[in-house]
Structure 1
Amino acid sequence: MAAEVATTAAAANGPDLTHLESMIRENARKAKSIYLSSTASASGRKRIRIDPALASEDPDITKSALSLRLHAEYNDLQTLPEAIASKLPAAGPRKKKAKAPTAADAAPSQSEEHARKLIEGIPASKNVAGGGANSSALVLSRRPAGGSSSSSTTSTPNNAQRNEPQHMSLTRRSDVLAQPRPDWHAPWKLMRVISGHLGWVRALAVDPDNQWFASGAGDRTIKIWDMASGALKLTLTGHISTVRGLAVSPRHPYMFSCGEDKMVKCWDLETNKVIRHYHGHLSGVYTLALHPTLDVLVTGGRDGVARVWDMRTRANVHVLAGHTGTVSDLVCQEADPQVITASLDATVRLWDLAAGKTMGVLTHHKKGVRALATHPSEFTFATGSTGSIKQWKCPEGAFMQNFDGHNAIINTLSVNDQNVLFSGADNGSMSFWDWKSGHRFQALDTTAQPGSLDAESGIMSSIFDLSGERLICGEADKTIKIWKPDETATPESHPLEWKPTMVRRRF
């Protein structure tokens, strides 16, 4: 009776605080579940543990505990100390290798999925590992992996059955196509043998009117021959050593010659006399070429430079320096690169004639490059080295294809407008190629003159006439041989012997 009276008196004297007591007990329960269950690790850092029963009852406890755990465990590790950061390379985080999904991974618990959604900035992506749609990995193909092979994707519960494990691998590019079929060309046969020189025939040039051609040889003379009959018309003397280069101007009555005596001469074909000398080379001059539109002469030799001369004033306009070996051959053309030089240092250089500087260097050859040839109608050229003939595209000098099969020291290359490439070698072997496909449709050996040595069967120079129907070769047996296509040959009588191969032609 007394207790009831006290309770009634207390209720009459003040407000009812029973609801505050329930709130205090609930807050104490939450605080105890979050804070009192934390334990100290070996390093002294607090680790938060959550009662799973309480976490499932109240999601707020899970969110609060997760936030506390992130701050308690990782707040001090957001940035590395300066002493450690300075030693590490500036690189992104390393990707972990994804493991093959198991049955447990395929069906994660609801609590893990719920906790993942609580972390902002880390969405529940379908593809966690690299190689997704926005990945910059160098992946060429994907295919489902079989058995226990590793996978590059992980699946969430929503797409576990849809996305199978995938395996990325490098595959052969799709541009590896079958070799195109080459054009049929008639076989070439020997038409005429011209004798008259007393030394190796090292240089050839054809008249712009296709009426005659000139030859220079080791006997220090230049001889003019009739194109139709092969008769000797004129002999020019003046060099005191082997004549190595000849060029006839299409716009002037001039012929230019160079030799191992360091001399570069300009001949007036109306008087058959030397009217100009170009002095400057420090050693033998092995090659020369005329610019097709400018009054410019370019020469190259053993001193490793190509010199650009003003044809009329004899001024040395440029010294194209850069090669470390003998400049063995060079060509000129109207568009850039206007000068291309080949050297025994195994490189080919493309030159900007206006600036006198190198536009590009081709280093694909392994041995000295002795021969150059530009296509008369295409913007392409070929280079020849020991056992290697390569085709290039102007102006950047992009590699196009190899002409495989002529395993000898290539001394000379020539190409006509019928897409026939000729290569002549030091051992007397000759090859005729289809320019488009690189197929060798004819291979033979030259016949040395009776009485000459076997070592004198080398082909030293070659040139097509303006019609492209005559090939003139200067050889080491002191003769000039003229070749022409077999007029009686047909695709039926001389079928194309060609088998397609899987090759990568251009890259």
Structure 2
Amino acid sequence: MAAQTAKGASGDPHLKDLVLQNARRTNAIYASATGSTPARKRIRLDSAQASSDPDLDKYAISLRLHAEYNDVQTLPEAISSKLPAAGTRRRKAKAGEDAGAQPEEQTRKLIEGIPPSNRKNSSGTAGNAGALVVARKQVGPAGAGAGAGAAAGRRDQQEHTSLIRRADVMTQPRPDWHPPWKLMRVISGHLGWVRSLAVEPDNKWFASGGADRVIKIWDMATGTLRLTLTGHISAVRGLAVSPRSPYLFSCGEDKMVKCWDLETNKVVRHYHGHLSGVYALALHPTLDVLVTGGRDGVARVWDIRTRSNIHVLSGHTGTVADLKCQEADPQVITGSLDSTIRLWDLAAGKTMGVLTHHKKGVRALTTHPTEFTFASGSTNSIKQWKCPEGAFMQNFEGHNAIINTLAVNHENVLFSGGDNGSMSFWDWKSGHRFQAMDTIAQPGSLDAESGIMCSTFDLSGTRLICGEADKTIKVWKPDPEATPETHPLEWKPTLARRKY
């Protein structure tokens, strides 16, 4: 009705006033936010009327806003009940203030072009709640004019709304200083690649197994050969010495798992069940349980005394390349060439979790001796995890090789050995690589025989034993003459390290 009157009386000033009065009444009746009648009608004003009275534009916009959004000003009960905090914060009003006044006030300011006032922070000054940090106000010199003050205010507002990095985002834990490691001893005696190592619980000797199918016992202090055990008909891939009984356990590519009595130096038990080569072996620290894994993609749990197969931990689709046991859940951790790590519930014999972060096969695992954490190694990737849920902690970036072995000691030194002979020493806490070098190849060996196959720290953590493809065993120790002054820590914090 009002629109038709406006078209017919565009030339009469008196009718223009009537049209304006009619539009205001229409707005008062139909465009109220608290009214029960929905405002569905729209008033169209021509350019002559809009130019004569600019309020008509605002009335038309107000009418359209209420017509479009009046039904959705409040959330439905089903949604608002799920968001109590957001709803109460948004609808919180001052004491004695009408509940519908705030949305109406915001609508009015939106129509009239009045910017909403900034909220006040805890210090009483106006600030932008969306700013990452509170920027300092720039106080001009004494005697500055109003124009300079306005410009400073605009700069303050820009600083508030700009994306300023917070200081704590850029801070990283400073790595601990560790002395560099140097070669101490080279032990020769194997006729094939040295594929497995194990240290005796009293730290007096260690065992090594190689591709020459023999197990050798070496004196820890002097590096001399004590004993040679023969019995496997293929490469020995895993060794473990029991801390509670005089037993040495070995496994190999001949599908055999053997238990050696170190008092008689003979095999006293065999554990039959694997369908292919056995690549990894671990003893449970508190139970008389042995866990083995290999090319058939399963990890088998054995009772040491009865030789019975307690569990068959199946789930991997590739070779189980390494496994570790610990006292608390997950009591068994397996890494496979199917690029996954599985955490197992030993009591139920089922998977507790699957870690799929690696892109290539997981060849190496190591557990921290004192912390409830472990690390895994794959091609160009070393990752640190937190037990028991397997939460990802950080990446160790920089060792670009096929990681064959990992080892960590009580001093938070992580060692990683590559298939190309590269070695890296890391700070366990921060992930900083404080030393990187290549192994020293045995004279006369081929370039292809420079890979590091296995490694372990002795129980004191001051000797690192590495088995290599040049048929030697190399023992490394920290430099006793190194100090933070002679070998300063070369570390620069990066702006943003990848955490995935």
Match status 1:244 vs 2:237: yes
Which residue of structure 2 lines up, in the alignment, with residue 162 of structure 1?
116
Relative to structure 1, the CA distance from residue 178 to residue 135 in structure 2 (aligned partners, 3 Å threshold; closer, same or farther) is: farther
Contact (CA 8 Å) 2:38, 2:70: kept in 1 or not?
no
Give the CA deviation at 1:453. 1.0
Match status 1:256 vs 2:206: no
Which residue of structure 2 lines up, in the alignment, with residue 304 of structure 1?
297
Relative to structure 1, the CA distance from residue 124 to residue 340 in structure 2 (aligned partners, 3 Å threshold; closer, same or farther) is: closer
| Distance in 2 separating the partners of 1:199 and 1:115 | 83
| Distance in 2 separating the partners of 1:115 and 1:490 | 73
Q: Select the residue among 384, 391, 395 that pairs with 2:384.
A: 391
Contact (CA 8 Å) 2:20, 2:56: kept in 1 or not?
no
Relative to structure 1, the CA distance from residue 240 to residue 71 in structure 2 (aligned partners, 3 Å threshold; closer, same or farther) is: same
Gaps of 5+ in 1: 1-32, 38-49, 74-102, 126-132, 137-152
Contact (CA 8 Å) 1:224, 1:232: kept in 2 or not?
yes
Q: How far does the alpha carbon of each residue in 1:424-444 deviate from its partner, in whole angstroms, 9 at most, with x for none?
A: 111111111111111111111
Which residue of structure 1 lines up, in the alignment, with residue 201 of structure 2?
208
Match status 1:472 vs 2:426: no
Q: How far does the alpha carbon of each residue in 1:466-492 deviate from its partner, in whole angstroms, 9 at most, with x for none?
A: 000000011111111100000011111
Which residue of structure 2 lines up, in the alignment, with residue 182 of structure 1?
175
Contact (CA 8 Å) 1:202, 1:245: kept in 2 or not?
yes
How many residues get paired?
409
Relative to structure 1, the CA distance from residue 247 to residue 68 in structure 2 (aligned partners, 3 Å threshold; closer, same or farther) is: closer
Q: Select the residue among 59, 81, 86 that pairs with 1:134.
A: 86
Q: Select the residue among 419, 424, 438 that pairs with 2:417.
A: 424
Relative to structure 1, the CA distance from residue 501 to residue 275 in structure 2 (aligned partners, 3 Å threshold; closer, same or farther) is: same
Which residue of structure 1 lines up, in the alignment, with residue 484 of structure 2?
491
Which residue of structure 1 lines up, in the alignment, with residue 101 of structure 2?
none
Contact (CA 8 Å) 1:336, 1:395: kept in 2 or not?
yes
Q: Select the residue among 79, 86, 108 that pairs with 2:58.
A: 108
Bigger shift: 296-305 or 448-457? 448-457
Contact (CA 8 Å) 2:229, 2:265: kept in 1 or not?
yes
Relative to structure 1, the CA distance from residue 330 to residue 450 in structure 2 (aligned partners, 3 Å threshold; closer, same or farther) is: same
Q: How does 1:351-430 map to 2 (within 5 A)?
A: 351-430=344-423
Relative to structure 1, the CA distance from residue 108 to residue 359 in structure 2 (aligned partners, 3 Å threshold; closer, same or farther) is: same
Q: Which amino acid aligns with 2:383?
A: K
TM-score using structure 2 length: 0.73
| Distance in 2 separating the partners of 1:271 and 1:454 | 40
Q: Select the residue among 313, 316, 319 that pairs with 1:320.
A: 313
Give the CA deviation at 1:506. 5.0
Give the CA deviation at 1:135. 7.7
Q: How far does the alpha carbon of each residue in 1:323-342 deviate from its partner, in whole angstroms, 9 at most, with x for none?
A: 11110000000111111101
Contact (CA 8 Å) 2:39, 2:66: kept in 1 or not?
no
2:448 aligns to what SS in structure 1?
helix
Which residue of structure 1 lines up, in the alignment, with residue 435 of structure 2?
442
Contact (CA 8 Å) 1:414, 1:422: kept in 2 or not?
yes
Gaps of 5+ in 2: 6-17, 42-52, 76-84, 89-105, 119-127, 131-160
Contact (CA 8 Å) 1:464, 1:471: kept in 2 or not?
yes
1:267 aligns to what SS in structure 2?
strand
Which residue of structure 1 lines up, in the alignment, with residue 282 of structure 2?
289
Q: How does 1:192-231 map to 2 (within 5 A)?
A: 192-231=185-224
1:422 aligns to what SS in structure 2?
strand
Which residue of structure 2 lines up, in the alignment, with residue 139 of structure 1?
none
| Distance in 1 separating the partners of 2:56 and 2:307 | 84
Q: Which amino acid aligns with 1:162?
A: P
| Distance in 2 separating the partners of 1:106 and 1:286 | 84
Relative to structure 1, the CA distance from residue 113 to residue 370 in structure 2 (aligned partners, 3 Å threshold; closer, same or farther) is: same
Give the CA deviation at 1:215. 0.4
TM-score using structure 1 length: 0.72
Q: Which amino acid aligns with 1:411?
A: N
Contact (CA 8 Å) 1:178, 1:503: kept in 2 or not?
no
2:496 aligns to what SS in structure 1?
coil
Give the CA deviation at 1:220. 0.6
